[in-house]
């Protein structure tokens, strides 16, 4: 009796697990299509002819392959300038961010540091409470940072969230014994950090570098508030003008050699797709390299500690 019942149970189980697996693949496939399709569409559209896009002939792969959109984007000066500025803000900003983050995160993991609780309290408080738009704006103004390159870097020197995940990572991966042993070997704190802590923390450094880099590359609001000079503007502001406010420079249109208003409008659509691709490429290249560190870095960091 018992064996029969078990048999039935097993059959039922195998059957329902089979259903589960099928349903699971269906769910995954649907999510995959929904996320991937717009991405593929943009890429294909950027390599198609503008007529094909407007007439809706682009479905999955490029139709009437053309590089007209890219030619127009590449010949545009403001795009290049935005690109150069964004790279500058990203590289200088991220480097300083990572150094400063380590400078605060490591000391805060040392239990023998007096005043540690106070600094941690300050950090947590800034995570919960921010003075807000106007007081920040006025502070930047008082400090004389308006319309300076530094305004894209200094106010974002530290992100408390990244400090916390870095601290948690240090706590979990750098055993106390290591410090004790190094001190006996005549290592001081500076040496310990540069020779031992940093090399052991490659994953978390990779992860926070990516977070900071993404924030710098994608920043547009600060730039909009604080930068007035066109020469300092990052790519995102240039993008906003073209993608959202539909402000195409005359220069850009002339390289497209428009015959009529209609053709011009169609080309504008194509240009937007190419611009979207070009603006997103740097991070898309960067993130697969960091991806393998994600689980280790993010996981350890996000366990509350």
Q: Which one, of 173, 193, 180, lies nearest residue 106 by Cα?
A: 193
DSSP per position, 125-187: HHHH----HHHHHHHHHHTT-TTSGGGGTGGGS--HHHHHHHHHHHHHHS-HHHHHHHHHTT-
> Which CB atom, from 246 or from 254, has the smaller least distance to other proteins?
246
Q: Does 132 bind other proteins (CB under 8 A)?
A: yes
Q: Does 173 bind other proteins (CB under 8 A)?
A: no
Please select the residue that binds other proteins; options are 225, 263, 293, 305, rule is CB under 8 A. 225
> Which CB atom, from 22 or from 67, has the smaller least distance to other proteins?
22
Q: Does 39 bind other proteins (CB under 8 A)?
A: yes
Q: Does 136 bind other proteins (CB under 8 A)?
A: yes
Q: Does 182 bind other proteins (CB under 8 A)?
A: no
Q: Does 185 bind other proteins (CB under 8 A)?
A: no
Residue 148, phi-psi category: left (phi > 0), alpha (psi -120 to 50), beta (remainder): beta
> Which CB atom, from 234 or from 255, has the smaller least distance to other proteins?
234
Least gap, CB of 145 to other proteins (angstroms)? 10
Q: Does 158 bind other proteins (CB under 8 A)?
A: yes
* Contact stretch for other proteins (CB under 8 A) within 64-72, 129-137, 165-173, 198-206: 129-137
Contact indicator for 209, 98 with CB cutoff of 8 Å: yes
Least gap, CB of 67 to other proteins (angstroms)? 19
Q: Does 34 bind other proteins (CB under 8 A)?
A: yes
> Which CB atom, from 177 or from 188, has the smaller least distance to other proteins?
188
Please give the residues from 53 up to 92 whose contact with other proteins meets the rule CB under 8 A. Answer: 53-56, 58
Least gap, CB of 303 to other proteins (angstroms)? 9
- Cα of first residue to Cα of last residue in the chain, in angstroms, is 53
Q: Does 186 bind other proteins (CB under 8 A)?
A: no
* Contact stretch for other proteins (CB under 8 A) within 61-69, 173-181, 194-202, 213-221: 213-221
Q: Does 20 bind other proteins (CB under 8 A)?
A: yes
The CA distances from residue 282 to 215, 265, 295, in Å, are 13, 28, 22
Q: Dihedral angle at the C-alpha atoms of 49, 55, 60, 62, nearest 10 degrees?
A: -10
Q: Does 216 bind other proteins (CB under 8 A)?
A: no
Q: Does 111 bind other proteins (CB under 8 A)?
A: no
Measure the CA angle with vertex 40, ends 37 and 42; round to 5°: 110
> Which CB atom, from 231 or from 244, has the smaller least distance to other proteins?
244
Q: Does 240 bind other proteins (CB under 8 A)?
A: yes
């Amino acid at each position: 009796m018992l064996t029969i019942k078990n048999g039935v149970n097993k059959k039922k189980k195998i059957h329902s697990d089979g259903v589960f697996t099928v349903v699971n693949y269906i769910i995954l496939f649907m999510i995959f299509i929904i996320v991937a399709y717009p991405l593929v569409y943009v890429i294909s559209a950027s390599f198609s002819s503008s007529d094909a896009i407007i007439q809706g002939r682009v479905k999955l792969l490029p139709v009437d392959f053309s590089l007209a959109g890219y030619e127009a984007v590449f010949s545009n000066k403001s795009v290049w300038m935005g690109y150069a500025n964004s790279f500058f803000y990203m590289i200088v900003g991220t480097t300083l961010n990572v150094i400063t983050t380590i400078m605060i995160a490591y000391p805060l993991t040392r239990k023998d540091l007096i005043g540690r609780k106070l600094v941690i309290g300050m950090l947590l408080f800034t995570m919960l409470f921010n003075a807000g738009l106007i007081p920040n704006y006025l502070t930047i103004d008082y400090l004389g940072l308006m319309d300076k390159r530094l305004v894209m870097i200094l106010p974002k020197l530290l992100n408390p969230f990244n400090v916390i995940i870095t601290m948690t990572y240090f706590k979990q991966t750098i055993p106390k014994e290591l410090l004790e042993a190094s001190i006996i070997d005549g290592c001081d704190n500076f040496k310990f950090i540069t020779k031992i802590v940093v090399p052991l923390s490659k994953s978390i450094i990779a992860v926070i570098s990516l977070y900071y880099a993404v924030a710098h590359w994608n920043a547009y609001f600060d730039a909009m508030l604080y930068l007035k000079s066109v020469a300092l503007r990052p790519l995102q502001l240039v993008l906003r003008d073209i993608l959202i406010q539909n402000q195409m420079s005359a220069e850009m249109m002339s390289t497209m050699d428009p015959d009529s208003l209609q053709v011009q409008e169609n080309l504008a659509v194509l240009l937007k797709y190419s611009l979207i691709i070009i603006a997103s490429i740097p991070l898309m290249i960067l993130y697969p390299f960091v991806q393998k560190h994600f689980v280790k870095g993010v996981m350890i960091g996000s366990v509350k500690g």
